[in-house]
Structure 1
């Protein structure tokens, strides 16, 4: 059909040219045969056009019609080959600032159904209508107002459920009362004032359908974030720690009715290794050895074990496999692994931390039910407990994704948004690169809040571009850090400007000339971004021009 629609106008045009050529040829030929003068021909060649249905079949007239078509085809061919792809005023770029009409289609008429970015720009939380995700990347130096001009106004106005990273605890102090007045249930994982914190048990959120995979992810998170950055040569010790810790977590999960990380650290305290007698067996070694004997017995006589016991022993086989990896080291090596693991998990031995980990009243699986907000308070002067924050967000994302996937429509009951303030201080969240690309469809979203782009790159390295690319909204609140201003400048793009050049030659025969040309220029250069007024910010939404607007006022 499309091909026919393209051919039909061309065929009609060619026929029209043939018709004109045939009729004009007929009129001129008959007039010449009758002896009409050339001057009279100029006034008569079109007369046969008054008879549109008359078509001459004389070979001369037919040739005139064909010639007319040929001339038409030659003109078309010339224009086609000589045509120019002109975008006047956009020769070097088409970047320009957005206007109210650009953002209007993305704003919900109900004010509480919009995430607010600037004094004039908002984004509806209905992602199916806007076809934009709610993930946001916020960049702003210290003091630029990331909390004041973005986090607080949205907490106090948008109808969503929240988890909020709260450096120093100021955010909870300023908003808790208002959130309770709005009907929100408030929970707090307080890693600043440990005695005020609600309880949080990571092992409660291990997926009962795929526990071994979940245990591996939890172990990797604990070791990676508790040990911090390591040199490549230290990977052996980190891998050895993972094997040991994975074995202890799996052992605890399958043998305890209400497993906690406290039981894991207690088991680690009961371990030992001898440099002089490598065959010496400690109490934990004996427990694993007895378990392996029982596993072999079950494999030989499976009918002697009920289904529940078989399931437990299958899980313990995984724990034993990890423990056997640890046992392959020499006595001195095993002792070093035990000591190193104990040192890195030392924060879990703090009395108030043990109280926090001993139960769970945060109930992450109910975060989408009713109105709820969870504050995660982190100290901004040290990173002692940052790995607990990373474990918290791992449990949060895995639990909510699992819950959404179990629902018939595949989404949570309410939108859940994570305000990841001081994102670099949380630690590396496992599988975050994949999560941020997929959680949108489940009504989960994040605001990644950083001081500089380099913070994100140092934490996630090559994956950082993927994370930033999955944030449809980006907000720059000000700063001078070179990598950040360059990143925003590149995102704003190039515009085409007119450059006026003048030259003057002085003297007896002096001259003066003036010329204009087109040139490319950044919408804002990096140095100009560093000088934007403190009450202004830049908002970028995928697919429309950027906005230079006033910062959002704190309610």
Structure 2
């Protein structure tokens, strides 16, 4: 029988124990007495090769000599141990006449490199990863933030991530999370780099790969926005995308009159085409043709009057006739001007290649919520084409919301992650700030990547705080914007430091001098704006709501298990 004492966070005893002598326990018994425990023998010992966790099961075949006060204290120690840091313990006892046996299983997670600056630590990274408390943090259900920082899906209020940085966002944040291959992805790919590198990787992972390539339409899947218009709300949302992406931003009060008239006729024509025309004609080319025919017809608006009148007489749904009546309230001359302006907004659909692209639909938005899908959105250098990217993002979110309600599944069977590199290039997404707080309910999440906070403020001057506030995770890779530096200093908060002030005074010849030492507690910022501005490349500051901030190295993508499966940037993949 041996005697053990728990003191100074270590298990101490009279001699060196072959098993427990070197095991550091991250707690201690509050009672400072010696507790008698039986000698434990090794029954089982192994190390999990995946997680790196060492497990030892120690068995005591006789604990009858333990004092009665020792057993409750020992069990309290075990319960406390289970809640502390990286060790967990489980005890199973069998105290019968036939057998007196106690088993203690100790699970010890290996020490990881700790990066700490005052109270900036990575302690939260372990407890918030999936699986909880495991050392292996590259599992699929983790969002990779840095070399040691992870956030497990479902552990926070939402899975939205805001990334601010001038360079490094692609390789150090976006690409590692694509390699996780968890759920479906919708990736804004400015230059086609993500598609070239990841298309073959996703196919190896049995993903459905689709691409909307506006810079090379011949190698693009087709996308028909009218295919996803089911009701008046969908038509209104689509028209809102058209106006948000208009090159001429009209702010004068007089222009609101024209804008309302344009909206009315566009929504009326879209609903008419969707509800009354055959499937092969349900596209924007037909809408543009109707507009052009009406504005060039010698009979003026009589052709449109006849068109909508016949549709109503045929007992079709007349949701579009109400909007046409709003349009008809104007004089004929004014109405013709409105038709011309509406046709100008749809000028991009006059191009033959865009008409071919939008003639049919191959995107299958609903299916990305039930099977693993990677969708790449590649815009062109033409700013007018941005309208289609804006439309598909808006329709994806709206359609997935409705699809979840149709199948009564919350969240959807597959996580859908919208990766928006260069988020500012999308323009204003209709109702985006309203959907962001509720996305987690439907299994949706976004990763917003911008060069500066000012880009979000410019697009959403009244709602930018809603967007930033609904991203529970924030990663900063370095930027030149002073306001971002100031915001990071504020979020990281302050720490108390001890200042030592020593004063030497001359007294007399007998006592030449006297020393005075003052210790002062001072509250100061952990980081100042100068240090944030001078942050070196390869470093990242991660902030997760409710946890201490983390200052860490950027993730080494070459260490990811799926990195060898990536394709080459020099070998473009085909859809």
TM-score by length of 2: 0.69
Residue in 2 that maps onto 1:90: none
Q: SS at 1:384's partner residue?
A: helix
Shift of 1:412: 1.1
Q: SS at 1:213's partner residue?
A: helix
Shift of 1:512: 9.2
Q: SS at 2:446's partner residue?
A: strand
Shift of 1:341: 2.4
Q: SS at 1:462's partner residue?
A: coil
Residues 381-438 of structure 1 show CA distances to partners (whole Å, capped at 9, x for unaligned) of 5522112111101110011111112233422111110101111101211111111111
1:92-131 matches, within 5 Å, as 97-109=119-131, 111-125=139-153, 127=154, 130-131=155-156
Q: Does 1:286 align with 2:303?
A: yes
Residues 128-186 of structure 1 show CA distances to partners (whole Å, capped at 9, x for unaligned) of xx143111001001xx2111111111112232210000011111111111111111111
Q: SS at 2:342's partner residue?
A: helix
Q: Does 1:132 align with 2:157?
A: yes
Q: Would you tell me which structure has more strand in proportion to its own residues? A: 2
| Whole-angstrom CA distance in 2 between matches of 1:239 and 1:521 | 55
TM-score by length of 1: 0.72
Gaps of at least 5 residues in structure 1 are 1-94, 275-279, 299-308
Residue in 2 that maps onto 1:87: none
Residue in 2 that maps onto 1:267: 290
Residue in 2 that maps onto 1:432: 432
Q: Does 1:219 align with 2:239?
A: yes
Report the count of equivalent residues: 430
Q: Does 1:162 align with 2:182?
A: no
Q: Residue 324 of structure 1: which of 328, 342, 350 is its match? A: 328
Shift of 1:117: 1.0
Residues 236-289 of structure 1 show CA distances to partners (whole Å, capped at 9, x for unaligned) of 333332222222212222221221111111111112279xxxxx732x533324
Aligned pair in 2 of structure 1 residues 546, 420: CA closer, same or farther (>3 Å)? same
Q: Does 1:423 align with 2:423?
A: yes
Shift of 1:320: 2.3
Aligned pair in 2 of structure 1 residues 538, 271: CA closer, same or farther (>3 Å)? same
- Confirm or deny: 8 A CA contact 2:264 2:323 kept in the other structure: no
Q: SS at 1:187's partner residue?
A: strand
- Confirm or deny: 8 A CA contact 1:411 1:442 kept in the other structure: yes
Aligned pair in 2 of structure 1 residues 529, 206: CA closer, same or farther (>3 Å)? same
- Confirm or deny: 8 A CA contact 2:181 2:202 kept in the other structure: no
- Confirm or deny: 8 A CA contact 1:250 1:319 kept in the other structure: no
| Whole-angstrom CA distance in 1 between matches of 2:514 and 2:550 | 44
Residues 287-339 of structure 1 show CA distances to partners (whole Å, capped at 9, x for unaligned) of 324634874xx6xxxxxxxxxx53x24224234224324xx0461x4343333
Shift of 1:97: 3.8
Q: Does 1:251 align with 2:267?
A: no
| Whole-angstrom CA distance in 2 between matches of 1:553 and 1:538 | 15
Residues 354-399 of structure 1 show CA distances to partners (whole Å, capped at 9, x for unaligned) of 11110001110101222210000123x5522112111101110011
Q: Residue 218 of structure 2: which of 179, 184, 195 is its match? A: 195
- Confirm or deny: 8 A CA contact 2:328 2:335 kept in the other structure: no
| Whole-angstrom CA distance in 2 between matches of 1:287 and 1:378 | 35
Computed over aligned residues only, the root mean square deviation of the Cα atoms, in angstroms, reads 2.8
Residue in 1 that maps onto 2:406: 406
Flag the structure with more relative contact order, 1 or 2, with Cα contacts below 8 A and sequence separation at least 6: 1
| Whole-angstrom CA distance in 2 between matches of 1:232 and 1:287 | 29
Residues 444-486 of structure 1 show CA distances to partners (whole Å, capped at 9, x for unaligned) of 1110111100000110111110111111111111112112222
Q: Residue 319 of structure 2: which of 312, 315, 320 is its match? A: 315
Q: SS at 2:353's partner residue?
A: helix
Residue in 1 that maps onto 2:529: 526
Residue in 1 that maps onto 2:258: 237
| Whole-angstrom CA distance in 2 between matches of 1:547 and 1:291 | 62
Gaps of at least 5 residues in structure 2 are 1-116, 132-137, 558-562, 564-575
Shift of 1:501: 6.1
Aligned pair in 2 of structure 1 residues 149, 290: CA closer, same or farther (>3 Å)? closer
- State which structure, 1 or 2, has the greater radius of gyration over its C-alpha atoms: 1
- Confirm or deny: 8 A CA contact 2:261 2:326 kept in the other structure: no
| Whole-angstrom CA distance in 1 between matches of 2:317 and 2:248 | 34
Residues 31-55 of structure 1 show CA distances to partners (whole Å, capped at 9, x for unaligned) of xxxxxxxxxxxxxxxxxxxxxxxxx
- Confirm or deny: 8 A CA contact 2:294 2:304 kept in the other structure: no
Moved more, 145-154 or 522-531: 522-531
- Confirm or deny: 8 A CA contact 1:246 1:322 kept in the other structure: no
Residue in 2 that maps onto 1:549: 552
Residue in 2 that maps onto 1:537: 540
Residues 11-46 of structure 1 show CA distances to partners (whole Å, capped at 9, x for unaligned) of xxxxxxxxxxxxxxxxxxxxxxxxxxxxxxxxxxxx
| Whole-angstrom CA distance in 1 between matches of 2:505 and 2:260 | 75
